[in-house]
Amino acid sequence: MLTLMALACFSQGLGAAPVRIENDKDRAVLANGFVSVKFDLAGRCFAIADSGTGEPLLERSVFETRMPEGAELTVHRDEEVADAMGKGRRLVLALGDFGIYRHATHLSNRALPPRRLFSFTLYEEHPALVLGFGLLTPNYYSMRLAEATTLGGGSLFGGKAIADPLTLNGSAGMDGTHVVEGLDRASCNSLMLTGKVDGKRRTVVWGALGNRAFAKVATLRAGVPGLSAEDPIGVLVDESEDFLAADTFYLDLTGGDPFEALERYGKAVRAANHASPNVYDFPVLCGWSVSHISKLP
């Protein structure tokens, strides 16, 4: 019943379509009826475009590479998913760039270097991309996963100017929420950016989705969105383990009306965390503040 209700909430009508994955040596594609995510494996970056029009939504978002020399990004696996957000498919990429450990294959014929994992999930009836992270440990070494950057670099909307930009933080109780002008912002949990591109209202929402062990940080630097996760101790990942964290991120580049985009994000967070808030559709007013602050007659 929960899945059926979630599907009804997330349905976007004409945009709903099966999720497809294409994969060859140097590139991979993950797409649904809303967006298409194209991965440049050799360049270690990806781009997102509108599936219907081909309009660029995000270009050249880079995978954080600690040691570029000898680094390699490959498709690790793809799989079907069915959860509270609906049915879809997940593409998991593996990035090997852990310094000297990537040269440790000489230890034995079975030794493998560690690799960082990045997951990307699209659903049939939802426009948002869900990003995740993890670790593929070698058979001789356990490690702690303490932080990850899943989104960084690149440009929004083909690099076009965003007029009258406004941001709203969603700091999950860590701070007050405020609308601020400009293209630079940082917040725990999530951010929303809205503005006009070629005279058309566009809204982007990015932030935490699944929550288990890691704190999430959303950033906007000179108009470039970023997402990262951190844990002061780190999650211990044993040797020979293929580990994806339960913590995930949400990225919706398709919004127009900011209220609709935020409502869609809120419903996704509710479903992903199996939350049951007391939802109502009427405003709440404080009698004292109305009489003392509003200065109404």
Nearest alpha-carbon partner for 248 in 276, 269, 223? 269
Segments making up each domain of the chain, as ranges = 2-275
Q: What is the secondary structure of 209-231 as a DSSP string?
A: -S-SS-EEEEEEETTEEEEEEEE
Q: Is the pLDDT of residue 9 over 50?
A: no
Does the pTM of the predicted model rise above 0.95?
no
Instruction: Identify the pLDDT of residue 5.
Output: 36
Q: What is the mean pLDDT of residues 143-166?
A: 96
Determine the pLDDT at residue 7: 38
Q: Residue 136: pLDDT band by 50, 70, 90 thresholds?
A: very high
- Bridge-based pairing state of the strands 200-208 and 242-255: antiparallel
Handedness of CA 122, 128, 134, 136 (dihedral sign): positive
What's the half-sphere exposure (Cβ side, CA atoms, 13 Å) at 240? 4
Under CATH, which number does the domain 2-275 receive?
Answer: 2.70.98
